[in-house]
Amino acid sequence: MRAKPTLAVLLLSLLLCACKSPKQPNLGEPLADLSRAERAQFEEGKKVFERVFTPQDGLGPLFNANSCAQCHEAPVVGGVGDEIEIHATRFVAPNSCDPLFDQGGPVIQQNATPLLQAKGIMKEQIPPGATAQAHRSTPPLFGFGLVDAIPEATILSHEPRHGAKGEGIAGHANRTIDGRVGRFGRKAAVAALSDFNAGPPGTDPAPDPEITVEDIEKVTAFTRFLAPPPQQIFTNHTDLHLARRGRKLFAHLDCVVCHLPKMNTGPSTSKALHRKTLALYSDLMVHDMGSALADICLEQAHPSEFRTEMLMGLRFREQFLHDGSAKTVQEAIERHDGEARNSRDRFKALTEKDKQALLKFLETI
Amino acid sequence: MKMITWLWTMVVAGSLAAATQASEVDQLKSDLIGQCMGGREKCWKFQSVDQIKTLTIQKKTEDSQKRVYTIVLQLQAAKAGGKYSADARVEYTKAATGWKIKQVGLLSLKKVE
């Protein structure tokens, strides 16, 4: 007689287990739903990502770092680093941007191989034609495969939305030299993960890229299948309440107009990337952020225009803004200007408790 | 009579060489589709043959395992409209199924319009 209730409880437990959402991968782990072959590609790619390149492998003679993981290192491989890159381009108002390809391109290499150092060259010089230079911090790469899988049309669909919204927000998509919609890099001048991976670890008179197509594919597999950062779920009532209040304020202050909370990936041959929703908190478009932050132009992005920073994993960063010059999230918010001026001013006008609520919410994403 | 035969041979040989060059150029264009030339902010990803306005082979070296072309390209993006001139090094390796691209190296890239 007692068997029936026990069986019912057991069945109910099994049902609840089945309905429970899948466990979020930890930081640095691959996406859930990868096939066995994709998992193997991720592991193979991680090895290339961590491989230290030498001059014998084609590193240099000018370079920034000798491995991908040298910059993308914290708190796990694929994360952030304290290295700051220097970029330089030439801008001639109103719309002409020269990325100085004929002088080595916009990324200025800060190191040289021993052979070049022996000739007295310690690093690449800023090209004489450059009109501005910029500092760039290392972005974390978590979830970038899902960003890569967002269709161009989805990004472009937000352009008219901004126009209609008014309030001085008028972002636009950037485009690469070959006409594709950009999404990676602080100026959204890189369209795909594979493009970016073909770039480092060095530039010089030897042909770029210096790693083989096979190795580029491996590194791309690692970055493509690297899971987005897990969301922080507060268990104590105070933090939970504050974060909930902060989420509402984030929307109320119109931060969500540019830091779009979610975007969907398109069809993909990989189940792990196919039609997924990603909480990236960016519209992937470039917006005018005001003259105080302005540095270089890149493709169709003017010196004062920056791609809306993806806020996912913000709590794992130690420096903020595109150049790493803000030491706290609050400082970064308060230095927003241009199209973000209204939201910034409304943030500044919040009570201390509400400011803390908004910052607490940002710790969850 | 001998002179005419010699001239005729030269014309045929020249035509054959030109045809081979043309088929090699077409093959190169086709193989480049999907490849990224350069990297990061200076990657040209070949999306269609239409983007390659001209492709000229400047140099070719080959051994049993490796074939290397130095080429000059005139490129135009369909959407952005920018025209670029590029020098590149395309390296093939011999695979079981035939020649396969190993590396597309960008030597220089310049906006011309």
Q: What is the pLDDT of residues A231-259, one digit of tens each?
A: 999 999 999 999 999 999 999 999 999 99
Residue B2's pLDDT is what?
67
Backbone angles phi, psi at A214, to 5 degrees: -60, -45
Residue B77's pLDDT is what?
84
* CA gyration radius, chain B: 17
ipTM of the complex: 0.75
* Partner-chain residue, chosen from A197, A212, A298, that has the shortest CB–CB distance to B102: A212
Q: Which residues of A touch B106 (CB under 8 A)?
A: 207-209
Query: How many other C-beta atoms are found inside a 10 Å radius of the C-beta of residue A170?
Result: 15
Q: Residue with structure tokens 């030109």? A: B18
Quote the CA–CA distance of A32 and A142 in Å, as a whole number.
13
- A interface test, pick of B31, B32, B37, B40 with most A CB neighbours within 10 Å: B40
Most confident of A15-24, A167-176, A313-322, B3-12: A313-322
Q: Contact A199/B51, CB-based, under 8 Å? A: no
pLDDT at A215 over 50: yes
- What would the pLDDT profile of B35-55 be if each residue is shown by its tens digit? 888 877 778 999 999 999 999
| pTM score of the predicted model | 0.86
Residue B18's pLDDT is what?
60
Q: Contact B106/A192, CB-based, under 8 Å? A: no
* CA gyration radius, chain A: 22
Q: Does A177 touch chain B (CB under 8 A)?
A: yes
Quote the CA–CA distance of A110 and A90 in Å, as a whole number.
19
- What would the pLDDT profile of A58-116 be if each residue is shown by its tens digit? 788 888 999 999 999 999 999 999 999 999 999 999 988 988 888 888 999 999 999 99
- What would the pLDDT profile of A146-201 be if each residue is shown by its tens digit? 999 999 999 999 987 655 555 678 899 999 989 999 999 999 999 999 887 765 44
CA B1 to chain A, closest CA, distance in angstroms equals 51
Residue A168's pLDDT is what?
76
CA A141 to chain B, closest CA, distance in angstroms equals 14
- Residues B78 and A179 sit within 8 Å (Cβ to Cβ): yes
Residue A194's pLDDT is what?
85
CA B33 to chain A, closest CA, distance in angstroms equals 13
Confidence label for B24 from pLDDT (cuts 50, 70 and 90) = very high
Average pLDDT over chain A, rounded to whole? 89
- Annotated domain spans of chain A: 36-191+207-362
Q: Where are the alpha helices (DSSP H) in chain A?
A: 3-19, 36-50, 68-71, 114-118, 144-148, 152-156, 158-165, 193-197, 213-225, 237-252, 255-258, 329-334, 341-348, 352-362
